[in-house]
Structures are given as C-alpha cells and as structure tokens.
C-alpha cells in the first residue's frame, strides 16, 4: 500500500497566461485548481499526471512546462509526503486546503532552473488583475469558445442530452453576448434568460453548467436551496449567495455580477403544509428570490451587488410531478400546483427538461463519456501497465445495476467501484498484469485477474 501512497498525491493545475505590462509582454502562470491524481510515466521522456478529482477528472497532463491546453501540473506531493507533514493523519480536506490558499496567485517561470516563483510585487499584481478585468468581456466569445465547438465537446461527456445541452448553451451564450456588448441595463435585463432545469438526479444538469462556465471563464457558485431562510430569520439568507460569488470571482465585484448563480434542489423550496418552519425556509426564500430574478441591488457585508447581469439557473428533480414518467410535458401550472410561486415561475423564461436515462443510455455513458468510471480507471491502469478488458455481459450488468439504483450516471461509479474494489489492492500490490471485467460468476466476482 505504501507504493500507492507514493504514486497518488496532490498537485496544482496552473494556467499559462499572457498580458502586457508597461508595454512589455509578461508570461505568467496562475494556479486554477488543486487536484488529487497519480504521478505516472509512459516512458523516460514523458512524465504525466492523471487527474483523479475535480472538473479535469480522468484527463492526463504532461508534467512540467511542456503542457497541453496551456495547463501545467506542478508541485506534486505524494500522499506519503502529505501524511508525514500531518502527523500521519490521512485527511484529504486538510491536504487540499494547504494548496487552495495559493489559488489565483501569480507565478513566473525560470526555464534555467525549471522553477516557478510567486510574484510578490503588489504593484505588479494589481496591474495583472487590472488587465484581466479589461480582457474579461472581450475574451468571452473568442474563437476558442465557438458555440459549436463547445457543444461538441460537452456531448463527449454528457450522453443522451443533446437537445438539452443545445438549449442551455444557447441561453447562456445569449446572456454572455448581451452582457459583453455593454448594452443598457434595462435592455440586458430584458434579453437575459433565467433558466429552470429539471430532471432526475444524475442526468447531467450540474455538469453541463460546470463545463459551459469553464469555457467562458466566468465565476460560478452552486448554492443548496434548503440551506437558506427568509431574510430576518435564523439561517443563511439569499445575500450570502452574492458573497460566495464575490469570493469565487477573487473579490472582483464587476466580474461577480456577471457570473452564474446556480440554485440546486430548487424543488425543495415548494411550500410545505402546516409548518411555520416550512413557511420561512420555503415560500419565504421564494419571495426573496423574486427581486434577485428581477434584477435588483442588494447591500450585504459592505457589498453593493446588482443582479441585473447575473445569470440565474434553478435546478431540481421534481420527481413527484412527472407525467407518464417524463418531464417534457410539464407546464407552469404543474410547478405552481407543486408549491412554487406563480410570480417566481413567471420570471423564468427558459424551461429545460432532462431526458430520463434508460439502461441503454447508461451503457453508452459507461463506454463513451469522458467522465465514465471505466475510462478513468483505464487511464490509471494503462499508466501502470495493467491491461483492462471487458465483455458485453459486464456492460449490460453494470448498466442494469446502476439503473436499479435510480441515481442516473452517478450510479455507474457507485456500482463500478463496488464491483472491482476487491481487485484494487492486489493490482496495486503488483501481483497482476491484467483484469478482465465480466458477468459475476458463482464466486460473485465480476472480474478475472491474470498474474504476471
């Protein structure tokens, strides 16, 4: 197991950027994520890092200054190193916190020593930040963010939701266009669409938005609706959302006000019956959201936050109001009858119903999605020179088991991890050269291991 701790660890993903300071070009690097992954070597000249967490899950990046997509993996520390620095206590949240404190700092690279140096000059830091703000709008719709290219890339990850991806992407693209063209606030407010996206868990609602936000490089926060209460009562009120978005934008208020606010589990705000607590934490929060959706200036913790240019997306399962086990037949009346205020639904201009996932859909996700647990493990095993194969019986089996969990694509990872969990220790110990995935046999195992 020590071999595993020396293989897996924590690293920065750093993005290479250019700017002009005092008429001179400056190339600098900004850490954009702290991720767990595996340090792997394909050959002597090709060191790579396999990402095992976060939005780049399953991707591999070359280590060092030679990078793909201008992303560089640096400062890798193994779990063994991190354990030694934490009194041998395995706490992944603590480990990651040691790295996240440096996110959004700026670094220069010295090729002579193959080393990154943190920029400490406050004047230079302010100039870089000012340039980033100036470039913000103009970079939103550049050729690398062509809507067609974004659509095709997201379809590689989110399976069986092509029309939904197109609808969501079109709405967000239009919002970004309206904002970036510096139109009058009242015009932007009329053009901008607030969205509600509904469908069963695990169908890709959040992941679609995550990927679009990544392409547009806009700050985004995902808030959990049941965490909030009406302003004036004990608990978090909606202004906390603006503070979270402000922090996600690295305390750039202008950028935060043009960001994306996602309110998850919105269906949990439906008015309950015969409960005072329900009233302040459900219908009360709905009332508070009316001004947010309309475009209003809020004052909170020293911030003057205007929501007129904010893209607001409501997510929910709404399991109990499906018609004929489908969502695309729902009307505004169905949501109102469910317990959502008519006034609030009237402020939502785009309804997107996610497709329910069939067994065949889950099988396709398992085999084709960039976020498939099979592809993630295959990348790891390939890096360790472990062959992994499967037969059709296994894919049918895992798709059916995941379908029975009723948790969408998430169920695939749950089932897959459970089915091969018993093999991992023996593979990591170095005793086997391949694993074949198949229908469980009499011993209950869904795999066969082949010794070296």
What are phi and psi for residue 350, nearest 5 degrees?
Answer: -130, 120
Give the domain range for residue 48: 2-133
- Any residues with CB less than 8 A from the CB of 206 and at least 6 apart, and which? 222, 262, 264, 315
> For the purposes of burial, counting CB atoms within 10 Å of the CB of 448, is it exposed (0-12), middle (13-18) or buried (19 or more)?
middle
> For the purposes of burial, counting CB atoms within 10 Å of the CB of 41, is it exposed (0-12), middle (13-18) or buried (19 or more)?
exposed
Q: Are 25 and 127 in contact (CB under 8 A)?
A: no
3-state DSSP assignment of residue 139: helix
Query: Which pLDDT does position 389 carry in this prediction?
Result: 92
> For the purposes of burial, counting CB atoms within 10 Å of the CB of 386, is it exposed (0-12), middle (13-18) or buried (19 or more)?
buried
- Total count of domains within the chain: 3
Query: Which pLDDT does position 82 carry in this prediction?
Result: 85
365 vs 301: CA distance, rounded Å:
44
3-state DSSP assignment of residue 20: strand
Q: Render each residue's pLDDT in the chain as its tens digit; 452 residues.
A: 445 566 788 888 887 787 888 778 888 888 888 888 887 765 555 567 788 877 677 777 766 554 434 566 777 788 888 888 888 888 877 887 777 777 778 888 887 777 788 888 888 888 887 776 444 333 333 334 578 888 888 888 899 899 899 999 988 888 888 887 767 777 777 788 899 999 888 899 988 988 888 777 788 899 998 888 655 444 578 888 999 999 988 889 999 999 999 999 999 888 654 444 454 457 888 988 999 998 889 988 888 999 988 999 999 988 777 665 567 778 888 899 888 999 999 999 899 999 889 999 999 999 988 888 898 888 888 888 889 999 999 999 999 999 999 888 889 999 999 998 888 888 888 888 899 999 987 778 889 998 86
Instruction: Mark whether 393 and 305 lie in a shared domain.
Output: no
- The residue from 353, 383, 405 where one domain ends is 353
Instruction: Mark whether 165 and 312 lie in a shared domain.
Output: yes
- Any residues with CB less than 8 A from the CB of 422 and at least 6 apart, and which? 445
Instruction: Mark whether 423 and 291 lie in a shared domain.
Output: no
Token couple for 415: 């089932």
Query: Which pLDDT does position 111 carry in this prediction?
Result: 75
- Any residues with CB less than 8 A from the CB of 377 and at least 6 apart, and which? 388, 416, 420
- Any residues with CB less than 8 A from the CB of 410 and at least 6 apart, and which? 201, 202
Instruction: Mark whether 117 and 255 lie in a shared domain.
Output: no
First to last CA, the chain: 19
- The residue from 309, 332, 353 where one domain ends is 353
Which H or E element spans position 32?
A: strand 24-43
Token couple for 290: 């009316």
The model's pTM is 0.65
Alpha carbon 216 to its chain centroid, in Å, reads: 13
Secondary structure of the chain: what % helix, strand, coil (to 5)?
Answer: 45, 25, 30
Instruction: Mark whether 173 and 269 lie in a shared domain.
Output: yes
Instruction: Mark whether 253 and 380 lie in a shared domain.
Output: no
Instruction: Mark whether 76 and 194 lie in a shared domain.
Output: no
Nearest to 437 by CA among 385, 362, 384, 381: 381
Instruction: Mark whether 66 and 174 lie in a shared domain.
Output: no
Q: Give me the CATH number covering residue 282.
A: 3.40.50.300
- The residue from 303, 320, 353 where one domain ends is 353
Q: Give me the CATH number covering residue 375.
A: 1.10.8.60
Instruction: Mark whether 187 and 90 lie in a shared domain.
Output: no
Instruction: Mark whether 172 and 256 lie in a shared domain.
Output: yes
4 vs 428: CA distance, rounded Å:
7
78 vs 1: CA distance, rounded Å:
13
Ramachandran area for residue 250 (φ above 0: left; ψ -120 to 50: alpha; else beta): left
- Say which residue the tokens 């020293």 belong to: 302
Instruction: Mark whether 349 and 217 lie in a shared domain.
Output: yes
Positions of E strands within 303-376: 303-306, 311-316, 350-353
* Rg of the chain, C-alpha, whole Å: 24
Alpha carbon 279 to its chain centroid, in Å, reads: 32
Instruction: Mark whether 73 and 154 lie in a shared domain.
Output: no
């Amino acid at each position: 197991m020590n071999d595993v701790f020396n293989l897996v660890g924590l690293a920065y993903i750093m993005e290479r950027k250019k700017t002009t300071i005092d008429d001179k070009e400056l190339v600098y690097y900004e850490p954009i994520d702290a991720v767990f992954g595996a340090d792997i070597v394909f050959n002597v000249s090709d060191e790579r890092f396999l990402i095992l967490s976060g939005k780049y899950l399953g991707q591999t990046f070359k280590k060092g200054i030679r990078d793909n997509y201008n992303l560089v993996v640096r400062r890798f520390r193994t779990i063994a190193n991190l354990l030694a620095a934490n009194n041998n206590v395995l706490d992944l949240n603590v480990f990651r916190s040691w790295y996240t404190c440096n996110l959004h700092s700026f670094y220069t690279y010295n090729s002579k020593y193959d080393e990154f140096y943190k920029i400490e000059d406050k004047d230079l830091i302010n100039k870089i930040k000012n340039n980033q703000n100036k470039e913000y709008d103009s970079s939103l719709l550049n050729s690398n963010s062509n809507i067609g290219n974004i659509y095709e890339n997201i379809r590689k990850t989110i399976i069986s939701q092509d029309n939904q991806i197109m609808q969501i992407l079109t709405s967000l693209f239009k919002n970004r266009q309206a904002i970036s063209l510096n139109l009058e606030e009242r015009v932007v407010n009329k053009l901008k669409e607030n969205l509600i996206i509904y469908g069963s868990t695990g169908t890709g609602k959040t992941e679609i938005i995550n990927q679009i936000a990544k392409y547009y490089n806009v700050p985004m926060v995902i808030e959990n609706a049941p965490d909030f209460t009406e302003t004036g009562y004990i608990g978090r009120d909606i202004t906390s959302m603006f503070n979270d978005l402000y922090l996600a934008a690295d305390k750039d208020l202008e950028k935060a006000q043009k960001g994306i606010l996602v309110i998850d589990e919105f269906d949990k705000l439906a008015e309950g019956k015969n409960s005072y607590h329900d009233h302040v934490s459900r219908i009360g929060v709905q009332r508070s959201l009316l001004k947010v959706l309309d475009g209003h200036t809020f004052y909170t913790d020293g911030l003057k936050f205007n929501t007129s240019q904010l893209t607001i997306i409501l997510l929910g399962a709404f399991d109990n109001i499906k018609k004929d086990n489908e969502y695309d037949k729902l009307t505004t009346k169905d949501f109102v009858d469910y317990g959502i205020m008519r006034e609030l639904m009237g402020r939502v201009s785009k309804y997107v119903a996610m497709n329910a996932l069939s067994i065949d859909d889950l099988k396709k996700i398992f085999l084709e999605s960039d976020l498939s647990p099979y592809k993630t493990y295959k990348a790891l095993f390939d890096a360790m020179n472990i062959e992994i194969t499967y037969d059709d019986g296994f894919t049918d089996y895992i798709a059916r088991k995941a379908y029975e969990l009723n948790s969408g694509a998430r169920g695939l990872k749950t089932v897959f991890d459970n089915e091969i969990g018993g093999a991992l220790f023996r593979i990591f110990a170095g005793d086997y050269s391949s694993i074949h995935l198949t229908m469980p046999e009499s011993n209950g195992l869904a795999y066969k291991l082949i010794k070296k």
